[in-house]
Structures are given as structure tokens and as C-alpha cells.
Amino acid sequence: MKKTHESNKIVILVNRFILFNFLISTFPFLAFAQQNFEPVKPTTEQLAFQNMELGAFFHYSIDAYAEKGSLLGQTPASKFNPTNINVEQWVKAAKSMGATFAVLTARHEQGFCLWPTKTTDYSIKNSPYKNGKGDIVREFVNACRKYGLKPGLYTAPWIDSHWEAQQAGYKGGDSGDINKFNNSELFKKVWKKEKEQITELLTNYGPLVFIWDDHFGRSDALYDKPKGGALRKLYKDFAIQAHHLQPQCLLLGRDVEHVGNEDGRASYPLWNSLNSIDGTIYTVSKTYKWGQSNTGNPYGKIYRPQIACSTVAFTTGGWMWSEKRKPQPLERIMDSYYKTVGRGSLFIVNFAPDRQGLIEKNVVEAAKAFGDEIKRRFGHSIISSNSKEVFQTLKFKVPVEINHVILMEDLTKGQRISSYTIEAKENGQWKTIVKGLTIGHKRIDDFQIVKAEALRFKVNKVTKEPAIMRNISVYCVN
């Protein structure tokens, strides 16, 4: 009797195993769905920011007027003297590229302020520009609003070379030491300055979409083990103050994650969800290490869109202008577009106004060519579906050549899709043309031309049901 009972238990277990495998083979995404897990949801502002996709980064400051070999922060304010500045020209160049937002270096690492701040004499008010009455931050935000771009600003809380050179124990230079403000008295001084500057920027120039508070996470991402310290505290205090002043303005770090390189390249797979190193919104992702993959975490508890930038993907040269720029070949620029926007991150393209205060003509032309190429490739789809289903078949009236598919996931309830396939029906036979992982905001898949009668999309794995699609669009790019 006991043996029969044990045999029945074995049969039941085997049958359950067979049933489980049948369900998994039929609906494979079930195997990866964690029923007790709830994906983290983005804010309204984060979703809107992801929809912007492409931005312009204007690196312009006293750096452009510095002599070669001069110490950082030591170029006199009197050297800042643009002779033909036209901020509207910058913004129109960005607009022609397809940018929807733009960021200006209100204060870069040398410490020179492009607005008449009350916190330091090292600013535009002590330059010849408009006899010290100028305000390029004002000109910038006004130009952005005139031409329909959302304005954002850059500042570098951790590095202010001019200010640091005036402090006891400093001798100028980059002063990038992680531990430099661990002294409590020095920390109070730097925080007083930073608090006053960000307060000026966030109260005097209207709503901003984004603050690039450069070097967020530096102490935790450059080493094998997180170091934290005063640097982490400074950025936390900065984020709290900025968020208090403009709750809708996103901050690098608190709300948006850096991809971890300046190559114009996001990781793949790419998750907008992550776990920070201390569990709070004030530290970087556990996957974030400079120069390495920053994939995020499919089961992360914090939502942060990722943003990519580059000094070399669009033109030659560094962040700031030092000599004439040469645009990269269009295919090189498009490669970065595919590896950023096409992997689900934002892409912010660097422009460096010259000593006149202008974007060079060849760079303006390259920006328009980039924007025109995006429109040429993806301005009109062969077929498009706004269905939210995770299994879809798109049928063509007649066989057509295709080589690109753009997928968009509905992220309102969080990012969920971790694996999918795309099949094309050719000569009556279905064949797999794409095996993909994450989709997120956008995924651009390109492949060899196929003459297809229909296209079939299928989600294979999710972190949590239901996954929701936003759009599928099919193209043939020649």
C-alpha cells in the first residue's frame, strides 16, 4: 500500500512537470515572470523626457578663450569676449538636427559663470561682453523657448577650479580629489556656494527640464568599492535643494542615469530600472562603473532613464572649442544614434561654439544632415501598429522589402519585456530575422533585406505580466 502511494506521488509530480513544461514551451514568458514582483513605474516627467530622445549639449565657457597650457580656473574673466555671439544660431542648429531639448554649461569646471551670479566675481559680469551686463543663460533659455526646445543647464558641483584655487591648501588645477571636501569647514563653504548658485539658476530662469550635475556618483563608480564620503553628501544635498525649487526638473543621478561612457553608446540589454548602491535615489546603480556596461536591473526598485553623450560621435575635438571642428562621417553619427536611441537611451549631441560665439558652418550643416537622415530613414513607415498586444502579425498587401523594425514598449507601468523575436514570412515560410532582448522606450533592429509577405512579433520573456506594447513600425532603408 505504501509503495502504491509513493508511486502515485511520483506520477503526480511527473504530470505536473510535464504540464509546467508544456505551459512554458507554449507561453515561455511565464517562466520569467515573478508573480510577487511589481515593476517600478516612471514619473510623468521621466516618461516625457524619454520621449524627447535627442538633445543638444552646448559646451561654452571661458575654456574656449584659455591659452594652451594655462592652469584651469586661472584664465581671467576679462578674456571672455565673444565678438559675434548668436545663441539663436546654436538653437536653430540643434532644432534642424531634431533635438527636442538642449543643455548649456552655465558653469563648467573652471568655475566661470555665464550668468551674473552674486556668488563669485569669476563670471560674465566681469567680462567685456556687453560691458559686464550680459547674461548668456538668459539668452539661451529664451532662444530655446522661442524655437520650441526644452532648456536645461549644466553645472559641476564637485569641480570649481577657480574657487578651489582660492581656498587654503589648494594650488589650482583640476582638484578632482575624491576626498578634498571631507574637511567639515571646507564642505560648509562649498555647499553654501553651490546652494546659492543652483538657487539662482532654478528661480531666475523659469522652468527647466533637466540639470546635468556633472560627476554625480564619481566616488562610487571609479573604484572597486564605493567610497561615498563628502562627495556623495554634496550631490544628495544638491539634489534635494534643486528638487525643492523645481520638482518637475529632472537631475542627472537622482532621476536620470548616465550610461557610463562618453562614446555615444548605451549598453544592451538596457533597463530603466535599477538598484542603487545604498538603496536610495541619491547614489548610482550597482551596475554603474565608468567605461563598463551599465545595464540596469530588470527587477530594480528605482526607475531612471539612461542618457548617453559623446565628445567624438558628432565632431572631432573635446567638449570645449579649442580649434576648428571636423564633423564625423554621417554613418559614424548614425551608428551612435542606433547605439543610443536605438537601444532605449536618450542621446545628447555635443556642440562647441567658437571664440566668436558661433557654431561653425560645417558643424551646422552636419547637424541638419543628421536630422535629415533620421527623417529619411524613419519619417515614413511601410506599416505601423499601435496594438498593445505582445503577439502581433502585420500583413502586407503585397510582398515588400524590409530591413528595419522599430519597437516601442509602453512604459507607463514599468519596463517588462526581456526577450522577443521577429519573424518574416517569405515565400510562404516563416523565418526568424531578429532575436532581441530589451525594448524599453525604443529599440531599432536592422537586418539584411527580406522580401516579406508578413511580419510576426512575439514576446518570449517578461519580468511581470502583462507586458504592453506601444508601437511597431516597419521600414526599408536604402
Q: Which three cell numbers stand for residue 19?
A: 504540464
Rounded-to-integer distance, Cα 476 and Cα 478, Å: 6
Q: What is the pLDDT of residue 9?
A: 43
Q: What is the pLDDT of residue 303?
A: 98
Say if residue 327 is preceded by a cis peptide, omega within 30 of 0: no
CA neighbor of 320 nearest in space, from 52, 112, 93 = 112
Q: Which residues pair with 455 in a beta bridge?
A: 394, 424
Q: What is the pLDDT of residue 311?
A: 87
CA neighbor of 85 nearest in space, from 41, 43, 136 = 136
For the chain, what are the domain ranges? 44-378, 381-475
Q: What is the pLDDT of residue 2?
A: 43
Q: Which CATH architecture has domain 44-378?
A: Alpha-Beta Barrel (3.20)
Q: What is the pLDDT of residue 70?
A: 77
Distances (CA, A) of 71 to 109, 110, 160, 173, 193: 12, 9, 12, 6, 22
In a structure prediction context, what are the per-residue pLDDT tens digits for the chain, which is 478 residues long? 444 444 444 344 334 444 434 434 444 444 444 558 999 999 999 999 999 999 999 999 999 999 887 777 889 999 999 999 999 999 999 999 999 999 999 999 999 999 999 999 999 999 999 999 999 999 999 999 999 999 999 999 999 999 998 887 665 555 678 888 888 999 999 999 999 999 999 999 999 999 999 999 999 988 889 999 999 999 999 999 999 999 999 999 999 999 999 999 999 999 999 999 999 999 999 989 888 889 999 999 999 999 999 888 999 999 999 999 999 999 999 999 999 999 999 999 999 999 999 999 999 999 999 999 999 999 999 999 999 999 999 999 999 999 999 999 999 999 999 999 999 999 999 999 999 999 999 999 999 999 999 999 999 999 999 999 999 999 999 9
**Are both 44-378 and 381-475 of the same fold?**
no
Rounded-to-integer distance, Cα 301 and Cα 252, Å: 18
Q: Which three cell numbers stand for residue 318?
A: 573635446
Q: pLDDT tens across 308-359, in order?
A: 998 889 999 999 999 999 999 999 999 999 999 999 999 999 999 999 999 9
Fold of 381-475: Jelly Rolls (2.60.120)
Q: What is the pLDDT of residue 127?
A: 98
